[in-house]
Amino acid sequence: MANLNIKSKQDRTYQAIVIGSGISGAWAAKEFCDLGVKTLMLERGRNVEHIKDYPTTNMLPYEFPHRGQIPEDIKKENPVISRCYAFREDAMHFFVKDTEHPYVQEKPFDWIRGYQVGGKSLLWARQVQRWSDFDFEGPARDGFAVDWPIRYKDIAPWYSHVEKFAGVSGNRDGIPHLPDGEFLPGYELNVVEKHFAEQLKKHYGNDRHMISARCAHINGNLDFYAQQGRAKCQNRNLCQRGCPFGGYFSSNSSTIPWALKTGNLTLRSDSVVHSIIYDEEKGKATGVRIIDRLTKEMEEFYADVIFVNAAALNTNAILLNSTSNRFPNGLGNDNGLLGKYVAFHNYRARVSGEYEGHSEYTTSGGRPTSGYFPRFRNVYKQETDFLRGYAAGFSASRGAGADTSGVGMDLKNSLLNPDQYGPWRVGSHMMGETIPKESNYVALDPNLKDEWGMPLLKISVDYDDNDEKMVKDYIEQMTEMFTKAGFTHIRSSDSKQAPGLDIHEMGGVRMGKDPKTSLLNAHHQLHAVPNVYVTDGASMTSTATQNPSLTYMAFAARAAHHAVAESKK
């Protein structure tokens, strides 16, 4: 019997355990496997295999009974996920429905989740802009949160490392606060987007830019990506269904199959992580307790090093639930700050308009990205009555429409031969930096539990005065820029959407130099438990304005190499 137990324990022992198979977890696993580390990757949801498990990927519009729309009874039962732009008939099977995994909203928070192998990497918007020191130095310069323990030079080589492998298309724009990277050929801006970029240059000098957004799509170096079984992006714009070409980067198409090929990866799906096991005698973490999603049985796995990449808020939940005599308030939580200083991106406002110029042109074909307007506010020095700033998405579009005013043969012929060109439509949405605050936090509900006996996460996150001022400034400034560019019928809106719908929630396990005021050190190790690393959104000290996934990928790769180097000491 004793022998059996030893054997069983050996069978459940690995060199590294990675919790989560989303964009950051799978990067950590891939690096470990490339370095010869026997790795167990745990995923709470079902398995999703590249291509095989993309049931809608090649479906034609008429094959969807509601042509993409979500039926009313599903919307009614699941109001939160129904507010997500990508929750449509073709991709609804990749999103968590409200009814499946409840949580407690102390303040309104739209928590958008993807519980499956690959996580939200199947569903992301694939925008990958680098941070610069204007972002890393933000908290120290402006006196909020704590100073980042790292700078651009620490992460730049890892940006390059992940960009080359993932495949990032973009142009070398030479903007100091949006550093260039390892780019495949970029995508073209259309004639009106170029017009807007030129107008910005004319009216604002070199302060305001409109560029083709860098995106994680393959647009060159095809032989290299063929080694991953991936091919050139076909401009289908059906990414949320999973791409049969592997044209965009996801864990499913890239890092997971790559790691599996090394023979070093064990992928265990349907494993809801309960907690990390802390050994008080050894003074370190020794493994992970999981509850099998289907059998509901508890099981333990062991490793020398543990990476927590469960997605920002769930990483917080796991650490909070990992209690011991040494850590009664959650693993590594000596200062009581675990779960606090949560932040996100402010996506509330939009500005749209029309352009009568370039009326002889339209566009054809497709492209996987659009325009990007990097932050210009408070970059070099504080110049407004709010801290930090915002980036914005921008696009112009035009297509042939049909006159639908009639009925009968007139209507039919008009529909079949669309030739009505209205003005160009232009639109922009803000992506504002929010300031992490102690009062924006997540915690475990003391009473409510889910189907697996796990405490429900309680979320208490809200906007503040800085965010309100930023919304106002974005609307004013973008309206002014649209006006100067000759756009007309300019309209602005503030959706007042709840935090969370931006799907950029961050923090709670922030990095910092001082164990008294942060949870993680410069290498993403818990100050108090150095063999536990957090390299997903939970580790973010501040949010900047860039879409964060690229930074998580670089963090994960960098930390995995650090962990391996440490183990060899």
Partner 1 sequence: MNRRHALRHIALISGGLALIPSCDFGKEDILTAYDKLQITPSLKKLLASISDTIIPAGEIKGALDLEVHDFILVMVNDCFNEENQKKFSQGLQSFSSYIKESSGKAFDQLTTKEKEAMVLETAQLKGDDSEEGRTKESIAYFVNTAKRFTIQGYMASEYIQTEVVPYSLIPGEYNGAVLISDLQKPRVNG
Among 83, 151, 194, 203, binds partner 1 (CB under 8 A): 194
In whole angstroms, how close is the CB of 205 to partner 1 at the nearest point? Answer: 25
Report how far apart, in Å, the C-alpha atoms of 175 and of each of 79, 138, 212, 390 are: 40, 17, 13, 16
| Residue 459 and residue 479 in contact, taking contact as beta carbons nearer than 8 Å | no
The 3-state secondary structure of 224-267 reads HHHCCCCCCCCCCCCHHHCCCCCCECCHHHHHHHHHHHCCCEEE
In whole angstroms, how close is the CB of 416 to partner 1 at the nearest point? Answer: 4
* 425 belongs to the binding site for partner 1 (CB under 8 A): no
In whole angstroms, how close is the CB of 188 to partner 1 at the nearest point? Answer: 5
In whole angstroms, how close is the CB of 202 to partner 1 at the nearest point? Answer: 20
In whole angstroms, how close is the CB of 249 to partner 1 at the nearest point? Answer: 19
In whole angstroms, how close is the CB of 479 to partner 1 at the nearest point? Answer: 25
Closer CB to partner 1, 247 or 500, in the complex: 247
Residues 67-106 that bind partner 1 (CB under 8 A): 67, 69-73
Q: Pinpoint the alpha helices (H) of 437-548.
A: 465-484
Closer CB to partner 1, 78 or 518, in the complex: 78
Among 1, 2, 4, 416, binds partner 1 (CB under 8 A): 416
* 361 belongs to the binding site for partner 1 (CB under 8 A): yes
Closer CB to partner 1, 5 or 62, in the complex: 62
* 234 belongs to the binding site for partner 1 (CB under 8 A): yes
Q: In what order do the strands lie in the sheet with 305-308?
A: 265-268, 39-42, 16-19, 305-308, 529-534, 525-526
Residue 25 backbone zone (phi > 0: left; psi -120 to 50: alpha; other: beta): alpha
Strand partners, 346: 432
* 365 belongs to the binding site for partner 1 (CB under 8 A): yes
In whole angstroms, how close is the CB of 94 to partner 1 at the nearest point? Answer: 19
Sign of CA dihedral 68, 71, 74, 77: positive
Closest CA to 287 of 297, 298, 276, 279: 276
Stretch that binds partner 1, among 149-157, 187-195, 264-272, 304-312 (CB under 8 A): 187-195
H/E stretch holding 507 reads: strand 506-508
In whole angstroms, how close is the CB of 93 to partner 1 at the nearest point? Answer: 17
Closer CB to partner 1, 99 or 404, in the complex: 404
Stretch that binds partner 1, among 182-190, 260-268, 276-284, 494-502 (CB under 8 A): 182-190
Q: Could you tell me how many residues of this chain bind partner 1 (CB under 8 A)?
A: 45
Closest CA to 156 of 560, 554, 564, 561: 554
The DSSP-derived string for 16-65 is EEEE--SHHHHHHHHHHHHTT--EEEE-SSB---TTTT-TTTT--GGGST
Among 15, 82, 169, 190, binds partner 1 (CB under 8 A): 190
| Residue 433 and residue 134 in contact, taking contact as beta carbons nearer than 8 Å | no
* 415 belongs to the binding site for partner 1 (CB under 8 A): yes
Among 83, 151, 201, 236, binds partner 1 (CB under 8 A): 236
DSSP state of 486: T
* 188 belongs to the binding site for partner 1 (CB under 8 A): yes
Between 23-34 and 549-567, two packed helices, what is the crossing angle to 10 degrees?
30
Residues 237-266 that bind partner 1 (CB under 8 A): 237-238
Residues 41-70 that bind partner 1 (CB under 8 A): 58, 60-62, 65-67, 69-70
Closer CB to partner 1, 105 or 234, in the complex: 234
* 364 belongs to the binding site for partner 1 (CB under 8 A): yes
Residue 354 backbone zone (phi > 0: left; psi -120 to 50: alpha; other: beta): beta
CA dist., res. 557 & res. 560, Å (int): 5
Tally the C-alpha atoms within 13 A of residue 238's C-alpha that lie toward its C-beta. Answer: 18
Closer CB to partner 1, 4 or 60, in the complex: 60
- In the shown chain, the binding pattern of residues 371 to 410 toward partner 1, with x for contact by CB under 8 A and - for none, equals ---------------------------------x-xxxx-
| Beta strand spans in 73-189 (E) | 104-105
Closer CB to partner 1, 193 or 433, in the complex: 193
Question: What are the residues binding partner 1 (CB under 8 A)?
Answer: 58, 60-62, 65-67, 69-73, 187-191, 193-194, 234-238, 358, 360-367, 404, 406-409, 411-413, 415-417, 421
